[in-house]
């Protein structure tokens, strides 16, 4: 019991530092992306912190297994480096004294990672999509950038401007395209500015000196209107938030669905706790090293295996979504390969044989 507590403590120490470091790096990278959107007017500054927190919650399903995996390798590698593993073996400590403490620590981590994948993932994605939809619905001139196209409302509106005067809130040489069911509306104007909101709460654009062309997407017909000044409302509906997205679907809904995309998403979520346990076990043979080589000797190999493993997961998930692989096989062949690798390496190092 003392040995088990000692090994768990040794693994927990680097795990805490690694998790904090990985969360900090991930948060910094995410913050750069959303702060850029906030500066460009694509997102309200108050939403940046919320989006970062939601992204961290989503990342837990990967960060937790990765942290435990690396911690097992580093902690046990230190024990090999300091010859403590040799001393334990000389005292008659079998392989169970190494495997069981790792599993005792991996089980609660797998439960937390599984909870993040099965429940936090859908809730976080739902809030992210709602915040994005809200940000896109609140259109203003500040969202535009010169010589770049901007799409809002899932491509219903497309904007382009050659020059932006942010001090005055005016865009010049403007191109605007709107799709109304089977009808296209094209507007070219010399100047565009914000006109506040109408009685329905919709954003209104003030267009000056331009043309409005309206024509059906298929067939003939259409008309052209020349205007000096026009008020153009932007219909900011909730279309984007109503659209079904499997990542935001609850796990209970995915369990009742037979769509290939939903099956792949469900299997991805269910595989998280299994991956956590297998990666923790894989860390045991990967930590075995010569004391003169150091505790980080096999860390490079471990990172390569981890990268290949998750890349295979992505490929397997895509194959299930496309119908290339039968749902019964699904993505499970990837953890089966990892299990085979774990058993082989444990046998090779003598853990299973002993």
Hey, which bits of 218-313 come out as E strands? Answer: 223-233
Q: Per the domain annotation, does 61 fall within a domain?
A: yes
Q: Per the domain annotation, does 22 fall within a domain?
A: yes
16, 126: one domain: yes
Mean pLDDT in the chain?
83
CA–CA gap between residue 130 and residue 229 (Å, rounded):
34
Burial class (CB in 10 A: 0-12, 13-18, 19+), 79: buried
Residue 229 makes CB contacts below 8 A (sequence gap 6+) with: 206, 207, 208
12, 129: one domain: yes
258, 342: one domain: yes
Of the candidates 201, 235, 269, which is a domain's last residue? 235
pLDDT above 80 (res 238): no
Q: Per the domain annotation, does 69 fall within a domain?
A: yes
Could you give the percent of the chain with pLDDT greater than 90?
32
Q: Specify the number of domains making up the chain.
A: 2
List Cα–Cα distances, 223 to 82, 165, 166, 213, 216, in angstroms.
83, 31, 33, 6, 10
222, 344: one domain: no
pLDDT above 70 (res 278): yes
Of the candidates 235, 265, 297, which is a domain's last residue? 235
pLDDT digits (tens, 9 = 90+) for 44-97: 667 788 888 889 988 999 999 999 999 999 888 887 777 777 676 666 665 557
164, 82: one domain: no
10, 127: one domain: yes
pLDDT for res 340:
94
With tokens 């008659």, the residue in question is: 92
With tokens 């104007």, the residue in question is: 189
118, 253: one domain: yes
With tokens 């298929």, the residue in question is: 218
128, 82: one domain: yes
pTM of the predicted structure, to 2 decimals:
0.72
195, 303: one domain: no
Of the candidates 207, 235, 263, which is a domain's last residue? 235
Sheet holding 157-165, edge to edge: 150-152, 157-165, 170-180, 183-197, 203-216, 223-233
296, 282: one domain: yes
Q: Look up the domain containing 214 and give its range.
A: 141-235
Angle, vertex CA 13, rays to CA 7 and CA 18, nearest 5: 125
pLDDT for res 169:
80
CA–CA gap between residue 282 and residue 102 (Å, rounded):
10
Q: Per the domain annotation, does 353 fall within a domain?
A: no
pLDDT band at 270 (very low <50, low <70, confident <90, very high): very high
pLDDT for res 239:
47
pLDDT digits (tens, 9 = 90+) for 211-225: 998 888 776 778 888
Lowest mean pLDDT among 133-137, 220-224, 226-230, 308-312: 133-137
Burial 114-149 (b: 16+ CB within 10 A, else e): bebbbebbbebbbbbbebbbbbbbbbebebbeeeee
Three-state SS across 129-192?
Answer: HHHHHHHHHCCCHHHCCCCCCEEECCCCEEEEEEEEECCCCEEEEEEEEEEECCEEEEEEEEEE
């Amino acid at each position: 019991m003392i040995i088990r507590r000692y090994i768990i403590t040794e693994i927990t120490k680097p795990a805490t530092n690694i998790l904090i470091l990985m969360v900090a790096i991930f948060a910094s990278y995410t913050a750069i992306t959303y702060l850029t959107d906030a500066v460009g007017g694509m997102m309200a500054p108050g939403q940046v912190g919320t989006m970062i927190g939601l992204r961290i919650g989503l990342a837990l399903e990967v960060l937790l297994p990765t942290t435990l995996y690396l911690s097992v390798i580093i902690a046990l590698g230190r024990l090999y480096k300091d010859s403590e593993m040799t001393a334990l073996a000389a005292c008659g400590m079998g392989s169970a004294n190494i495997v069981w403490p790792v599993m005792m620590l991996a089980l609660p981590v797998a439960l937390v990672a599984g909870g993040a994948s099965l429940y936090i993932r859908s809730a976080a994605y739902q809030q992210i999509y709602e915040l994005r939809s809200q940000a896109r619905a609140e259109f203003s001139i500040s969202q535009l950038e010169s010589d770049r196209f901007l799409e809002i409302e899932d491509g219903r509106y497309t904007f382009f401007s050659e020059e932006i005067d942010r001090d005055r809130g005016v865009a010049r040489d403007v191109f605007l395209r709107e799709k109304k069911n089977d009808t296209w509306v094209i507007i070219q104007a010399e100047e565009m500015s914000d006109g506040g909101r109408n009685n329905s709460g919709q954003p209104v654009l003030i267009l000056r000196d331009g043309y409005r062309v309206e024509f059906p997407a298929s067939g003939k017909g259409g008309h052209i209107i020349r205007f000096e000044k026009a008020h153009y409302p932007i219909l900011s509906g909730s279309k984007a938030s109503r659209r079904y997205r499997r990542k935001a679907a609850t796990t209970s809904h995915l369990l009742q669905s037979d769509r290939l995309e939903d099956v792949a998403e469900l299997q991805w979520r269910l595989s998280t706790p299994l991956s956590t346990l297998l990666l923790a076990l894989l860390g045991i043979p990967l930590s075995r090293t010569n004391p003169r080589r150091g505790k980080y000797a096999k860390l490079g190999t471990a990172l390569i295996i981890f990268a290949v493993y998750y890349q295979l997961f992505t490929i397997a998930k895509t194959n299930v979504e496309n119908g290339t692989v039968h749902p019964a096989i699904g993505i499970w062949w990837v953890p089966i390969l990892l299990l085979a690798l774990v058993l082989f390496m444990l046998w090779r190092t003598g853990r299973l044989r002993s």
